[in-house]
Amino acid sequence: MTAHRSRLNGSLRAPPSKSWTQRALFCAALVGGESEIRSALFCDDTLASAQALSKLGVRTRWNDGNAHVNGLEELKKPSSEIYCGESATTLRFMTAICATTPHDAEISGGPSLLRRPVADLAHALQELGADCRTDHGYPPVRVKGPIEGGSVKVPGNVSSQYVSALLLAAPLAKMPVEVTVSGRLESKAYVKMTLEMQRKFAVQVDAAEDLTEFRSESQTYRPSSVEIEGDWSSTAFLLAAAAIAGEKVRIGGLAQETLQADRYIIGILERMDGRLTTDSSSVTLEESRLEPIEADVSDSPDLFPAICALCAVADGVSSITGIRRLRIKESNRVLAMSNGLKQMGIETRESENSFTIQGGKPSKAIVDPHRDHRIAMAFAALGLCTDGITIVDAECVGKSYPFFWRDLRSLGADVTAH
């Protein structure tokens, strides 16, 4: 796919949130009955979650933008390996959920997923009474429960998904479960989202105000009907495109009062002098002369590629910190962005936890996003101010935003397939 110099104009609705949809799918799976997830996101990752859960007897019907989930209070024994695609959320949540059953389960996934760490989660589940084994700290994972209960400690600086996974499983333990986070919990908002979705399914987990300690009694998930809000993570790339090449672009379906960490993109754009206005459910943005910025993405790592795209056209040197965990995402995102930007003539420098970009005028290039959806979308936005950015394996956007290319074209982007 090649993105050419364009002028964007018009409006569209943000895709549904992937993070909310996946949490709803897992909570609904643990219910003895049917739940409805309205405006659910259908993408590679949410489909991976539904298909993985189907191995435990959970049935999901996708119908007209909604998902109907028939959950089970007693999950079945999987008949074969549980494959999670490239979805780390699915892998980690499934590992914890399978640890609540007396059945043997083997959980694996695609090539990039096999490089995502899971050791600390496996160790915590062992401490709670499950038998959980990994391949030197990485998938595939072999697990057999049930967890009994007790107290465990997990690090806060590797993945908040460890905490969310334990919280989803904790109510199904025979005895109370206490989870303590050592060090600073990064991506804290994602844990808040897990707690909120559990509340919608009648489960209450007690949490310290700073989210370093949690306690759950034995409880039962109850059927629910939930509405999924628009996804700020995916919208960030549309907003980056609008700031780079927009006459006037409006993105609707966005809750301003949200637990989603990636609403942080609004603060980033404001600090970069982006020409934007917001109301209770939308953002409108025009092409902007962007100023350089110092930004910390430790709580919003998924925004890193979009912020890099904005900094690449800003008038000066920008610095992005909190990047350590970005090397263990779908790709090494620091390396992928650095290589792509350098191919476009944009200077970058990196250290262990910071990334510096000298803004300029990006030039024509062929970029390999390393099958990473967010890298592909970031370079698509940058392509709109060049003579053409060709993105290899452009269909990888299906991981989170299957209609990205269609939506970009609907706003007037000159995007051609190969």
Nearest to 311 by CA among 272, 365, 285, 342: 272
- CA-based angle 56:140:176, to the nearest 5? 60
Q: Please state, in angstroms and rounded to a whole number, the distance separating the CA atoms of residues 354 and 334.
A: 9
DSSP string, 385-410: TSS-EEETTGGGGGGT-TTHHHHHHH
CB distance 99 to 145 below 8 Å: yes
Structure token pair of residue 329: 């995402």
Backbone angles phi, psi at 122, to 5 degrees: -60, -40
Give the helix/strand (H/E) hosting 88: helix 88-98
Give the helix/strand (H/E) hosting 185: none
Please return the burial class of 385, using the count of CB atoms within 10 Å of its CB with bins 0-12, 13-18 and 19+.
buried
Which residues make beta-bridge pairs with 303? Answer: none
Catalytic positions are 302
Which residues make beta-bridge pairs with 319? Answer: 294, 356
Instruction: Give the burial string for 208-238 (b: 16+ CB within 10 Å, else e).
Output: eeebbebebeebebebbebebbbbbbbbbbb
